[in-house]
Amino acid sequence: MVADEPPERQLRVMPWWLVLVGLLLAAVLGWLVLDLLLAEADRAGQPDVRATLRIDAIRTGLTVVAGTGGGLALLLAARRQWIAERAQRHQESVATRDQAHRDRVQAHAESVAEAAQRHQDRQSGAAEHDAAERRLTELYTRAVELLGNDSAAVRLGGLHALERLGQDNPAQRPTIVAVLCAYLRMPAPNDEPRETEVRRTAQRVLTRHLRADGADHWPGVVLDLTGAALVDVDATGCTLVDANFTAATFTGTTTFAGATAKGRLLLAAAVFDDVVFDDLDADGEVVLDGARFGGSASFDGATFDGLSCRRSSFAGPASFRRATFGQPTSFDATRFEDTAAFREAEFVGGLSMEHTEFGGSASFHAVRFANMALFRWTVFGAEALFDHARFIDAANFGRARFHGMASFRDARFSRPPQVDQARAVADPAHRWPAGAVVERLDDDWLLLVDR
């Protein structure tokens, strides 16, 4: 923006009489000079000299008049030049101010046009967004309606419609996953093969998009399948974020092999037939309190940041070979009716198996207990094998019951284990830790006492 020019002095017009006054002054000055010179010439003695002097006086007077007039003319010419220069500067100043004004007007017009264009773009974008949202809502509503149809084939179509909607619209994936989980949580008709197939499809839709190595991975979605009835779940390689399977029923073979659990994995009071958790990687707590395993259960190579498995029951073989337990782990009051294998497992945190019952053989071969290990009131119904086990911290077997052969061959203890009031059947094959004090209680039982 151009700064305002300072106001110019007002130009006054020269009056006409001023020129007449100047001419009169020039004439008066010439007459006075002429009169003075003629008076001097008249004082000369000789007539011819006087005549010459008078002619020179007249010539000088006229010269003075002419010179005065020329000076006046020169002043007038200088004034004319000064006025012309002022007029030129004034024109340039006016032109500059006009150009600055035109620039301001142009900039304002462009700003108004740009604001109008932005407003139009916002209105257009809002209209497109509203249209897309309406279309999305219509598709979502239609898919949900299909999912509630009485026909199994139509319900399958609704599942695939929801899957496609979630694939094309990432913002809708949590809602779509919530709808599928709600469908699986609803009671299923008994002995209805078509409904079973619909539920299998819903499960596959969920697990397909939970595999991190898949092109269709939906990251960050949360499963809430509390109390759901699930059939042959295959979550191999899935990433589970704060997944909740509390009180869910898993029929058939269930596998979480190679899965990754981020946050808590809740399986409390869940019911399983055969289940595989091999190589599970859980960076949060896994809760299996009150879970019931009707068939085999395998946790081989699994990594737990924390595991709670209180008051659970394993009707079939249970295997935790080479599993790693980070935080304190609890199997309190859990019952293993068949074999239980913890071979080469590592308990970095503490282990509590108080009031736990082993109906079959319990193998803790080469297990490393880096923290306190509690087996108080534990009942070993068959063989209890702790061969080559390492107890870095305290070990407590107080009031434990060994109904089969107990073997601690080559087991290493950092301090003598506590065995107060522990009992074992009279079996010559027992291999107790070095220095253990064993007393015969009667013909059938032995009593272990602390030194």
Helices assigned H by DSSP within 311-424: none
Q: What confidence category does residue 396 fall into, taking pLDDT thresholds of 50, 70 and 90?
A: very high
Q: Is residue 290 over pLDDT 70? A: yes
Please identify which residue in the block is written with the tokens 């991190």. 212
**What residues have CB less than 8 Å from 427, skipping those under 6 apart?**
404, 405, 406
What average pLDDT score do residues 427-432 get? Answer: 91
pLDDT at 13: 63
pLDDT tens figures, 415-424 = 999 998 999 9
For the entire predicted model, the pTM comes to 0.73
How far apart are alpha carbons 86 and 80 in whole angstroms?
10
How far apart are alpha carbons 339 and 341 in whole angstroms?
7
pLDDT at 341: 97
Q: From residue 177, give the alpha-carbon distance in Å to each of 58, 115, 183, 258, 318.
A: 126, 42, 10, 22, 32
Query: Quick one: tokens of 212?
Result: 């991190």
pLDDT at 75: 77
pLDDT tens figures, 201-250 = 999 999 999 987 766 889 989 999 999 999 999 999 999 999 999 999 99
What percent of the chain has a predicted confidence (pLDDT) above 90? 54
More confident residue, 439 or 140: 439
How far apart are alpha carbons 156 and 200 in whole angstroms?
10
pLDDT tens figures, 86-141 = 888 888 888 888 898 888 988 888 888 888 888 888 877 776 766 666 766 676 77
pLDDT at 5: 47
> Do residues 317 and 293 lie in contact, with contact meaning Cβ atoms separated by under 8 Å?
no
Q: How crowded is residue 304: how many other Cβ atoms within 10 Å of its Cβ?
A: 28
Q: Pick from 270, 315, 325, 268: which is nearest to 295 by CA? A: 315
pLDDT tens figures, 37-86 = 667 666 666 676 667 776 777 777 677 777 777 777 787 777 788 888 88
Q: Is residue 3 over pLDDT 60? A: no
Q: Is residue 6 over pLDDT 60? A: no
How far apart are alpha carbons 320 and 345 in whole angstroms?
7
pLDDT tens figures, 193-202 = 888 899 999 9
**80 three-state secondary structure:** helix
Q: Is residue 268 over pLDDT 50? A: yes
pLDDT at 369: 97
Please identify which residue in the block is written with the tokens 């462009």. 110
Mean pLDDT taken over the chain? 87
How far apart are alpha carbons 327 and 259 in whole angstroms?
19
pLDDT at 258: 95
How far apart are alpha carbons 352 and 78 in whole angstroms?
117
More confident residue, 356 or 132: 356
Q: Is residue 8 over pLDDT 60? A: no
> Averaging pLDDT over each range in 33-37, 91-95, 183-187, 301-305, which range is the top one?
301-305
pLDDT at 228: 95
Q: How crowded is residue 53: how many other Cβ atoms within 10 Å of its Cβ?
A: 18
Q: Is residue 191 over pLDDT 70? A: no
Q: What confidence category does residue 183 fall into, taking pLDDT thresholds of 50, 70 and 90?
A: very high
More confident residue, 379 or 42: 379
